[in-house]
Amino acid sequence: GRARLSRWDGRGVEEEEAEEEWHQLYPGHIPTSPLQKALLAAGSAVMALYDPYRHDMVAVLGETTGCLALPNLRDKMKRHPEGHRILQERPRIRLSTLDMARLRGLPDGSLGREYVRFLEDNKVSPDTRMPPKFVDDEELAYVIQRYREVHDLMHTLLGMPTNMLGEVVVKWFEAVQTGLPMCVLGAAFGPVRLSARKLQVLATELVPWAIRSGRNASCVLNVYYEQRWEQPVESLREEIGIFPPP
Q: Which pLDDT does position 22 carry in this prediction?
A: 52
8 A C-beta contact, residue 67 and residue 172 = no
> pLDDT by residue (tens digit) across 5-29?
333 344 554 444 444 445 789 999 9
Q: Which pLDDT does position 140 carry in this prediction?
A: 97
pTM of the full predicted structure? Answer: 0.87
8 A C-beta contact, residue 205 and residue 246 = yes
Q: Which pLDDT does position 171 carry in this prediction?
A: 95
Q: Which pLDDT does position 143 carry in this prediction?
A: 97
Average pLDDT over residues 135-163: 96
Q: How confident is the model at residue 31 (pLDDT cuts 50, 70, 90)?
A: very high
Q: Which pLDDT does position 14 carry in this prediction?
A: 47
Helix (H, G, I), strand (E, B) or coil at 110: strand
Q: Which pLDDT does position 24 carry in this prediction?
A: 83
With vertex at residue 35, the alpha carbon angle to CA 42 and CA 43, rounded to the nearest 5 degrees, is 15
- Tell me: pLDDT of 196 over 50: yes
With vertex at residue 1, the alpha carbon angle to CA 14 and CA 31, rounded to the nearest 5 degrees, is 55
Q: Which pLDDT does position 12 carry in this prediction?
A: 52
Average pLDDT over residues 202-225: 97
- Tell me: pLDDT of 144 over 70: yes
Instruction: Report the alpha-carbon distance of residue 196 to residue 194 in Å, rounded.
Output: 7
Residue type at position 46:
V
Average pLDDT over residues 181-188: 90
CB-based contacts of 162, cutoff 8 Å, min separation 6: 122, 124, 155
63 in the Ramachandran plot: left (φ > 0), alpha (ψ -120 to 50) or beta? alpha
| Averaged confidence pLDDT in the chain | 89
